[in-house]
Amino acid sequence: MTEFDGMNGTGMNRPPRSRKVKMPKAGRHAKLAGGIVMGIAVIGILAMDCTYQIQEQEQAVLTTLGVPKAVAETGLHFKIPLIQKVDKVNTTIQGFPIGYQENTNETIIHEGIMITADYNFIDVDFFVEYRISDPVKYLYTSGAPESILKNISQSCIRTVIASYNVDDVLTTGKSEIQSKIKEMILKKIEEQDIGIQLVNITIQDSEPPTQDVMRAFKAVETAKQGKETALNNANKYRNEKIPEAEAKADQIIQDAEAEKQVRINEAEAEVARFNAMYEEYAKNPAVTKQRMFYEAMEDVLPEVKLIIDNGSGMQKVLPVESFVEMSTGNNINSNSNETEENS
Give the start-to-end residue ranges of the domains of the chain: 46-90, 94-209, 213-298, 305-342
d(CA 276, CA 269) in angstroms, rounded, equals 10
Q: Tell me which CATH code domain 94-209 carries.
A: 3.30.479.30
Q: What is the DSSP letter of 100?
A: B
Distances (CA, A) of 335 to 185, 206, 227: 128, 115, 91
The pLDDT of residue 201: 95
Chain mean pLDDT for the chain: 79
pLDDT digits (tens, 9 = 90+) for 108-138: 888 988 989 988 888 999 999 999 999 999 9
The CA-based angle 327-333-338, given to 5 degrees, is 125
Are residues 98 and 110 in contact, defined by beta-carbon separation less than 8 angstroms? no
The pLDDT of residue 314: 54
DSSP reduced 3-state for 71: strand
Are residues 71 and 89 in contact, defined by beta-carbon separation less than 8 angstroms? no
Please tell me whether the overall predicted TM-score, pTM, comes out greater than 0.85 for this model.
no
Are residues 118 and 166 in contact, defined by beta-carbon separation less than 8 angstroms? yes
The pLDDT of residue 276: 84
Which residues in the chain land under pLDDT 70?
A: 1-37, 39-49, 213-214, 217, 304-343
Nearest alpha carbon to residue 62 among 77, 43, 44 = 77
The pLDDT of residue 3: 44
